[in-house]
Chains A and B, each alone.
Chain A
Amino acid sequence: MRKHIWQKVLAISLIVILSLTLVGCGDNSAKNIEDYPTKSITVMVGFNPGGGVDTAVRGIQPYLQKYIGKTVLVENKPGNQGLIAMNYVGEQKPDGYTLIATTNAMSLNAMIFPESYKLKAAPEEALIPIYSWVNGDGNGIFVSQESAIKTWDDLVAKAQTEEGIKIAGSGIGSTDHITAITLTKIYGGKWTFVPMDSAGEVASAVLGGQVDAGSSSPGAASLDPSRVNMLAVTLKERAEKWPDAPTFIELEKPELYILFVIGLMAPAGTPPEIIAKLEEAMDQARNDQAFIDWAENAKQPIGKEGWRAETYKSYLTDYQSNMKALIPDIQEALKAAQGGQ
């Protein structure tokens, strides 16, 4: 009786699987470089749907589709702060049909957590920059409106006391964490980083008074100017949402010029002709009035202009060489946290 049932179970499973496989089959043939693209293009997103990177990609997708002339599919492969997707795309055929939407923090993560990075090429060489269409946001340090701390100087002064500053940010090794480590390095005193799961939780901890300050993108939806007081931002110029918050450049700490950059990249080895085609289409998409209107309405920090491959690449090179100097500090901070338990 038992054997008989298992045979049936197996047979029916196979039938269901096979029939579903047939549905999934399609045309996969690639043609010449000049004809590119001849089929749909997939953009991998290493983060969850609804997150910052995902929203930015979904926002530009219809326009990229319009100018490249083929369907553009967006696929989420979250995990490992984007590294799962980076590992995956880095291994794909460099034919321009599998691309990745990245943040500047991803290559840094690959350096901080070498055990999670699986590609043979160095993190800064595994992917070729194509175009960046979101480069207007960075990081900001904020407190609750109810807090006794009102200005950046107040915060720095408190960091020098025995109590020190408790600063919440999302995730270990994140831009938030790096900002906190850099702050300790520059200003001295005691800055205890309290890692949270998301920007929302950071805002919640600040509003609830559990921490002194928080570190988040100034553009984050969870930061409401009527409840939160932004003290300083890591941008080049003051953010529109926070006209009273100085930049660190104004505060004469240019080390804290940190941007949050989202861009499109292709696996190393992708022919330059294909990169050029994609770059052109992205530039047209970024400057399409309908996209600009959407970005304004959705408060996307797209910045003044899109970055073509060259600008994008030179920013990344600068960023990576700046950050490389910090990696020993970050790894030491991590070790200290691990030893402390």
Chain B
Amino acid sequence: MESVVLQGLLSSLAPTSIIAVLVGVFVGIAVGIVPGIGAGVGLSLLLPIIFNVPPLIGLMLLLALWASDGYGASISSILLNVPGGAGAVATCFDGHPMAQQGKAGEAIGISMASSMLAGILGTFVLMLAAPPLAKLAVKIGPAEYTIMAILGMTLIGGMAGKNRIKGLVSAIIGLMVSFIGYDLTTGFVRYNFGSAYLFDGIEFELVLIGFFAIGELMQAGEEGGTVAEFGKMTGTVMGGFKEALKRPMSILRSSLVGVVMGVLPGIGITISSMAAYEVEKKFSKTPEKFGTGMVEGIIGPEAANNSCQPAALIPTLTLGIPAGSTSAVFLGALIMYGLTPGMDLFTNKAPLVWAMMWGIIVASIAYVLVGLIFANWFAKLTILPIEYLVPCTLVTCFIGAFVTTNSFYDLVVAFLFGLIGYVMAVLKYPPAPAILGVVLGPILEKNYFRALLLSDGSHRIFFNGTLAICLWCILALILFAPLLFKLFKNRKEAKLLRNL
């Protein structure tokens, strides 16, 4: 056993592996930065290229790309308030205010440190506990997923910011968008205006590009100036690094959220990063300051979305069940190399599996080293005039939209959502709840109807089993605890007053 672990480490440190990791890191950061393309697209673009490369090198390349995508995505969130990928929506909340204060470098530093540590932590979980975790993950059925999706809805409150009503409206817009297209349970096509293009619904990336990139950016473009308020920069990347390291508990908590949600097929980085943000807010002594550039507000989502990746590999490698679309592409690569997932992989191909797992850790360190070289350059973008920044980003976004499915319609849809997003930005409706709605809508709908199919239409299925009951209790706690807490506090204060 030990020799295999060591052998894996050595082959992950061989010169060819390191080169593969470096190439993966560069591509990963690049696809991460560009909104609308993420690790999934990056992996599928590289698949045909790695076809003739030995498995170890090819897989290391893919894993390095995948690991560094999350870090790249946070750069766009921080600098431009445009998430570079689904997992970086929540990074905007505190990352961008920090950049506006001229501390873009510091924010990038925080993101790098927490991404790296969470990636390493997640990989250790993958190394030590993959088979039992995968077994647990498949035990969770449609009923539990339904309750989890309802739990996810409670995140809207946190995403909404100051105006709850506007946040809710935005979430409802997102949910409505998610209903477009073919209903998986019945095959019924809804709201497609007779167009075959809308049969599959609207790609989540296009909504992201529309609402954030086009809507918010156009508004920023109108205002002009620079991102950093006084055109000056304070705060350094290394400073951010240290700030993050000072908060080990935050990193640990958020990594845990990422691992738990990463293992579950179908949950994914969007929800896990938003959930980690909320968890950090709940644990904070100054929750009201979230959204103004809190360090924990960056650590939360960044740690969660990076620990999600190794966790997503758990069901992929042990059961051949991909946890999301990116792991599905990775599974395709494994099959292409003739590596059949399952316990067989861990026994017969142990050296390769261990080298892959070490590879994620090597990649995590590599993107930080690469990131350190470029971070200060990236941060300087915030003192560039916005009128130059906006058009370049917009064009990049449209290319991103096109690359995803090679379809002209995607550009039209992205543009239409951009218009809606622009109106929303002008009227100060926050876009993040809409994104949450788009992601949660199908999870809720599909699993609700699947659960009813399983129970022959009885709603009792939602209260069967310990896990379901636990989830309802958590939901009750989230909804009513603040209320009870307030009541309790008021009583205490009243008592104190009486005693005076």
Footprint of B on A, CB under 8 Å?
1-2, 5-6, 8-10, 12-13, 16-17, 20, 48-51, 54-55, 58-59, 61-62, 74-80, 83-84, 87, 112-113, 115-118, 166, 171-173, 192, 194-198, 200-201, 203-205, 207-211, 220-224, 226-227, 294, 297-299, 334, 337-338, 340-341
Query: Smallest CB–CB gap between A25 and chain B, Å?
Result: 16
How far apart are the CA atoms of A205 and B453 in the complex, in Å? 13
B141 touches A51 (CB 8 A): no
A9 touches B315 (CB 8 A): no
How far apart are the CA atoms of A209 and B338 in the complex, in Å? 29
B196 touches A80 (CB 8 A): yes
Q: How large is the interface on B (under 10, 10 to 19, 20 to 34, 35 or more residues)?
A: 35 or more
18 intermolecular pairs with C-beta atoms under 8 Å apart: A1-B224, A13-B394, A49-B43, A54-B47, A58-B51, A62-B52, A79-B197, A79-B407, A80-B200, A116-B189, A116-B196, A172-B184, A172-B187, A204-B321, A211-B454, A222-B341, A298-B336, A337-B186
A55 touches B52 (CB 8 A): no
B320 touches A12 (CB 8 A): no
A221 touches B335 (CB 8 A): yes
- For the A-B complex, the count of residue pairs with Cβ-Cβ distances under 8 Å equals 203
Which of A20, A48, A87, A299 is B335 in contact with, Cβ under 8 Å?
A299
> Which of A49, A54, A211: most chain B Cβ within 10 A?
A49
How far apart are the CA atoms of A196 and B322 in the complex, in Å? 13
Query: Smallest CB–CB gap between A117 and chain B, Å?
Result: 7
B388 touches A201 (CB 8 A): no
A224 touches B338 (CB 8 A): no
B163, CB-defined interface residue at 8 Å? no
User: What does DSSP make chain B's interface, helix, strand, loop or mixed?
Assistant: helix
A12 touches B450 (CB 8 A): no
How far apart are the CA atoms of A114 and B188 in the complex, in Å? 12
Footprint of A on B, CB under 8 Å?
43-44, 47-48, 51-52, 137-142, 182, 184-189, 194, 196-197, 199-200, 221-222, 224, 265-266, 315, 319-322, 325, 328-338, 340-344, 387-388, 390-392, 394-395, 399, 405-407, 446, 449-450, 453-454, 456
Contact A338 B186, CB 8 Å, known A84-B197, A166-B454: yes
Query: Smallest CB–CB gap between A234 and chain B, Å?
Result: 21
Give 8 nearest A-B pairs by CB, closest first: A50-B332, A49-B44, A297-B338, A172-B187, A50-B329, A208-B138, A200-B321, A222-B320
B454 touches A79 (CB 8 A): no
B391 touches A9 (CB 8 A): yes
B387 touches A205 (CB 8 A): no
Which of A80, A226, A338 is B342 in contact with, Cβ under 8 Å?
A226
How far apart are the CA atoms of A297 and B54 in the complex, in Å? 13
A75 touches B406 (CB 8 A): yes
A58 touches B44 (CB 8 A): no
Query: Smallest CB–CB gap between A73 and chain B, Å?
Result: 9
A173 touches B187 (CB 8 A): yes
B52 touches A78 (CB 8 A): no
Which residues of B sit under 8 angstroms from A222, Cβ to Cβ?
319-321, 341
How far apart are the CA atoms of A51 and B332 in the complex, in Å? 6
Contact A201 B265, CB 8 Å, known A48-B325, A337-B187: yes
